[in-house]
A and B are shown apart, each in its own frame.
Chain A
Amino acid sequence: MASCRSLGGEIGAPAPHVLAVDDSSVDRAVISGILRSSQFRVTAVDSGKRALELLGSEPNVSMIITDYWMPEMTGYELLKKVKESSSLKEIPVVIMSSENVPTRINMCLEEGAEDFLLKPVQPSDVSRLCSRVLR
């Protein structure tokens, strides 16, 4: 599988750090597996709330990839909070969903999401993100 590490620039540069957010333990495991196989460093959390807690303490997150439907805080709500934050708004956010709902997709893209992926996410989706999002 194509490695995203080379997009980090310098040889020996640390792998980009991706924060994966999904309330499903199965989906967290799968997306983490895909990201790790693409040479990302991955932290996976189960809620938007935990994602924001981590973002507050971890300065070097290169990308957030989040499920749309989560209890308490949806991926869209997380996206909005990230884009409203002066310290976080430059972090690319990618939304995942098992449902292909055009209005939902447009809403997320208009709010600043970099991409909207349909589940199950494939390694080729992540490779595409590498080249486009992590420039």
Chain B
Amino acid sequence: MKKSLFDQGYLDEQFCQVEDLQDEASPNFVEEVVTLFFKDSGRLMSNIEQALEKYPRDFNRWDAYMQQLKGSCCSIGASRMKNECMSFRDSCGQGNVEGCMRSFQKVKREHAVLRQKLESYFQLLRQAGPAGAATRPIM
């Protein structure tokens, strides 16, 4: 399953870097970081949604929030979500409200899909036990 997450572009090499930090002293490190990501990204997306409504055409504000979300995506290797964040920022740079709105919907979709896929992934890992511990996919 992990290979498909990489093949379909949901995750990139940065996720492997995070996995490499997991060891006996931090046996659940990856899942902990991913949990933090979804908590943080949920909050940031809520901020963006409110800003889109309360601050019309405030591209600087919208961009600042999205920059934070993009940063979090980069940190865990959430590649497709990161790309949609970048599209949103491009639209901000162009002053394109429609583009921002469209991109934000895509960010939300990618966020939901990624959450579902990673939840399944970690569930599989738990079922597999220590013998099924994550290994680098063949790329």
Contacts of A27 in B (CB 8 A): 71-72, 75
**Count, chain A residues at interface, CB 8 A:** 17
User: Taking the complex as formed, is A119 at the interface, i.e. its CB lies under 8 A from any CB of chain B?
Assistant: yes
Main secondary structure of the interface of A (DSSP, over half): helix
A120 touches B74 (CB 8 A): yes
When A30-B18, A33-B18, A34-B21 are in contact, do A24 and B39 touch as well, CB less than 8 Å?
A: no
Using A26-B33, A26-B40, A37-B23 as known contacts, say yes or no to A98 and B71 having CB atoms under 8 A apart. yes
A70 to chain B, nearest CB (A): 10
For A120, list chain B residues within 8 Å (CB): 14, 17, 74-75
Neighbouring B residues of A26 by C-beta, 8 Å: 33, 36-37, 40, 72, 75-76
A-B Cβ contacts below 8 A, count: 54
Q: Does B87 contact A (CB under 8 A)?
A: no
In whole angstroms, how far apart are the Cα atoms of A98 and B68 in the complex?
9
Taking beta carbons and an 8 Å cutoff, which residues of A are in contact with B?
Answer: 24-27, 29-30, 33-34, 36-37, 69, 98-99, 119-120, 122-123
8 A-B pairs with least C-beta separation? A33-B21, A98-B71, A26-B72, A25-B36, A29-B33, A26-B37, A26-B75, A26-B36
- Given A24-B71, A120-B14, 19 other A-B residues pairs in contact with their CB atoms under 8 A: A24-B40, A24-B72, A25-B36, A26-B40, A26-B75, A27-B71, A27-B72, A30-B18, A30-B21, A30-B33, A30-B75, A33-B29, A37-B21, A69-B67, A98-B71, A98-B74, A99-B67, A120-B75, A123-B21
